């Protein structure tokens, strides 16, 4: 009996061990239903992640232009090409450039309708008088000259007529001079210009204070390997620059000029602007551009051996394009700081209850509010040459 009991116990123990051995391999077979459910959850997770990522990408695209944005092409300014006869000199042309500011239009009318006719009339009168004297009062026609010493009528006429002419011209001239130095309105955008030997530095104090440096673009036979040479799309020879100034149309501009070394002069003929840049002083005037376009100018004060290599190029664009350009340059749009700061508070106030679903959007929104820094220098790789920084 004892043998049977021991045998029975050993048999039972063997069956238990055999059952455990069979259960172990079957353990992975149980999870398949759970595993089948898991991929569904995993599939849903990437879908949600993709949706979140898609939403994240949409936000910075609106705040910071993409790498292929046309605002970042060429010199970092909107891709505007020069127009023949507009904003630049024309070979064999006589007269003023087409004006695109109120003061410029007023000055052009004064020049064309008052000064030129008056000067022409005076020149013709003097020429007629000279011819008359040569014909009537030469020795052959008048062998016995008159001994008249004074003629009251003639003396009164030649005294009063010039005075009247000067008064007639002085009235519109003084009005134009006053208009050129009217203080800018409060909504004016400030452009600070600093003259250097021999290039320009531009600062935008009202848009975050970012700066750009503008140098002459050299010709193809003057550039070193790796440098960008001037093309026809950049502008005329000796007027094209690597970094153009961008200003909005229809918005008053407060122009401030100074110099880092000697006296320069910032002049754009199409704006009727010529303002000296004097070391240690800050000169100021204002103007409003009325027509979009590309306008060229030069330094108009003899400032050294490379005075002729300080060109100016200004792009006048609509205000919305200007604001996008400011953001692309790393600046900020005036008046946009307050809404940007209030946006996260509004987002948090309206956040859904599911914190896990909205957690990834928090840091991304913060990154989207702060645009990535963008270099203010154009990709010209022009380290030296006439009008370049450091020379």
Q: Is the pLDDT of residue 18 over 90?
A: no
The residue ranking higher by pLDDT, 302 or 357, is 302
What is the mean predicted confidence (pLDDT) over 1-11? 50
What is the mean predicted confidence (pLDDT) over 380-390? 42
| pLDDT score for 182 | 87
Q: How many CA atoms lie within 13 A of 366 on its CB side?
A: 6
What is the mean predicted confidence (pLDDT) over 166-176? 93
> What is the chain's mean pLDDT, rounded?
75
| pLDDT score for 348 | 47
Cβ neighbors of 193 (< 8 A, separation 6 or more) are 200, 201, 202, 255, 256, 257, 258, 266, 277
| pTM across the whole model | 0.65
Kind of pairing, strands 245-248 and 311-317? parallel
What is the mean predicted confidence (pLDDT) over 320-338? 82
Q: Is the dihedral of CA 78, 81, 86, 90 positive or negative?
A: positive
What is the mean predicted confidence (pLDDT) over 359-382? 40
| pLDDT score for 84 | 84
43-56 tens-digit pLDDT: 434 343 433 333 33
> Confidence band (pLDDT; 50, 70, 90) for 94?
confident
> Confidence band (pLDDT; 50, 70, 90) for 165?
very high
Flag the least confident range among 229-233, 271-275, 294-298. Answer: 229-233
Judge contact between 114 and 169, C-beta under 8 A: yes
Q: Which of 289, 282, 342, 285 is nearest to 98 (CA)?
A: 289
Q: Is the pLDDT of residue 109 over 50?
A: yes
Cα angle for residues 12, 16, 20 (degrees, 5° grid): 170
> Confidence band (pLDDT; 50, 70, 90) for 121?
very high
Is residue 115 exposed (0-12), middle (13-18) or buried (19+ Cβ within 10 Å)? middle
> Confidence band (pLDDT; 50, 70, 90) for 34?
very low
The phi and psi torsions of 216 (rounded to 5 degrees) equal -65, 140
Q: Is the pLDDT of residue 124 over 50?
A: yes
Judge contact between 208 and 273, C-beta under 8 A: no
d(CA 136, CA 140) in angstroms, rounded, equals 9
CA torsion 312-317-321-327 (nearest 10°) is 20
d(CA 257, CA 267) in angstroms, rounded, equals 11
| pLDDT score for 10 | 58
């Amino acid at each position: 009996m004892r043998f049977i009991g021991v045998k029975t116990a050993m048999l039972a123990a063997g069956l238990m061990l055999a059952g455990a051995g069979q259960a172990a391999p079957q353990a992975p077979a149980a999870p398949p239903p759970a595993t089948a459910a898991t991929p569904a959850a995993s599939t849903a997770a990437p879908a949600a992640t993709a949706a979140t990522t898609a939403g994240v990408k949409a936000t910075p695209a609106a705040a910071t232009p993409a790498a292929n944005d046309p605002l970042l092409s060429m010199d970092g300014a909107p891709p505007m090409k020069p127009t023949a006869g507009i904003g630049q000199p024309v070979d064999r042309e006589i007269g003023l450039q087409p004006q695109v500011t109120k003061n410029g239009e007023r000055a052009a009318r004064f020049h064309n309708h008052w000064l030129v006719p008056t000067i022409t009339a005076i020149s013709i009168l003097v020429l007629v008088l000279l011819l008359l004297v040569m014909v009537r009062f030469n020795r052959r026609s008048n062998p016995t000259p008159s001994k008249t010493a004074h003629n009251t009528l003639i003396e009164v006429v030649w005294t009063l007529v010039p005075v009247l002419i000067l008064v007639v011209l002085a009235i519109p001239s003084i009005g134009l001079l006053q208009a050129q130095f009217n203080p800018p309105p409060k909504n004016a955008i400030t452009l600070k210009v600093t003259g250097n030997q021999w290039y320009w530095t531009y600062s935008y104090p009202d848009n975050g204070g970012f700066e750009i440096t503008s140098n002459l673009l050299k010709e193809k036979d003057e550039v070193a390997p790796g440098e960008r040479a001037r093309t026809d799309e950049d502008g005329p020879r000796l007027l094209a620059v690597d970094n153009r100034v961008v200003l909005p149309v229809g918005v008053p501009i407060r122009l401030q000029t100074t110099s880092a070394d000697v006296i320069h002069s910032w002049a754009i003929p199409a704006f009727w602007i010529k303002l000296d840049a004097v070391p240690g002083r800050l000169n100021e005037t204002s103007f409003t551009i009325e027509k979009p376009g590309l306008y060229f100018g030069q330094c108009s004060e003899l400032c050294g051996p490379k005075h002729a290599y300080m060109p100016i190029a200004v792009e006048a664009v609509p205000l919305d394009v200007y604001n996008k350009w400011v953001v692309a340059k790393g600046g900020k749009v005036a008046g946009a700081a307050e809404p940007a700061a209030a946006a996260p508070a509004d987002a948090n106030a309206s956040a859904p209850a599911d914190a896990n679903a909205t957690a990834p959007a928090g840091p991304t929104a913060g990154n989207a509010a702060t645009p990535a820094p963008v270099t203010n220098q154009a990709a010209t790789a022009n380290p030296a040459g006439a009008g370049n920084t450091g020379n």
